[in-house]
Amino acid sequence: MKTLILFLLSTLLSFAQENNVSLRLMAFPRSADDSPVQLNLGERTIDVQLAANCLSDPYTVPAMEAWDFGQRTTDGEGKSTFESWGRGKARSAKRQIVILLRKGPKNADGFRVLTLNDGPKHFDERQLLFYNLSLEDIAGEVGGVKFALKPAQHKVITPKADQGKDLCHASLLLMKNDKWRPFMESNWPLKKDTRGLIFLYTDPATSKVRLHTIRDFL
């Protein structure tokens, strides 16, 4: 009997681990609001850290159909409710990146929640991820790789170092009034064990297209 119980416990633990997902999070534009943000996991919630300049350490959580962020509150009668500030469809990958795009200066103003597949086969070192979260078409050439993205599209590219060792030339264009207009031009690093995430988004405060970039060290 003891052997059977141990076997069942081991099987249940293995099943639970197989159904876990690793999440890394980030939120932007930057905000001075430090009110807690929680991830709703059904029967429980967990506090999460949201930085604008890096991906968070991984959170190991059960697989869900959607990632729901907000805050749990308890009223005077002890009744607990979860106020959702943003919800986005989850992916099936075991490793995922979750992007929270702020709709206003405060966390309670809400988030647009977007999820990406993570891991080497999806997004590896010396690669760049471009995500167009703006309302405009964009195009670019980075390290000899040309691409174009409509709103809500994203793409991972593998540029070449064309400006010397570990450096590539990057230029981005923005469609305005049916014409391509220069948006950004620079040289970007390409290094081992490092990848870049580049987001173009519409700033809720100014309605202008902004660029948000981070480097992620693998």
pLDDT, residue 77, reads 77
8 A C-beta contact, residue 109 and residue 100: no
Total Cβ atoms within 10 A of residue 149 = 20
For residue 74, list its beta bridge partners. 80
14-73 confidence digits (pLDDT tens): 434 578 999 999 999 999 998 899 999 998 999 999 999 999 999 999 999 999 999 998
Do 19-119 and 123-218 agree at the fold level?
yes
CATH of domain 19-119: 2.60.40
Kindly state the DSSP code that residue 206 receives in the 8-state scheme.
Answer: T
Domain ranges of the chain: 19-119, 123-218
Which has the closest alpha carbon to 132: 198, 182, 188?
198
181-216 confidence digits (pLDDT tens): 999 999 999 999 999 999 999 998 899 999 999 999
CA distance 178 to 176: 5
Structure tokens at 166: 């570990």
For residue 48, list its beta bridge partners. 37
Please report which residue ranges of the chain form alpha helices under DSSP H. Answer: 2-18
Total Cβ atoms within 10 A of residue 86 = 22
CATH of domain 123-218: 2.60.40
For the entire predicted model, the pTM comes to 0.86
Q: What is the mean pLDDT of residues 155-176?
A: 96
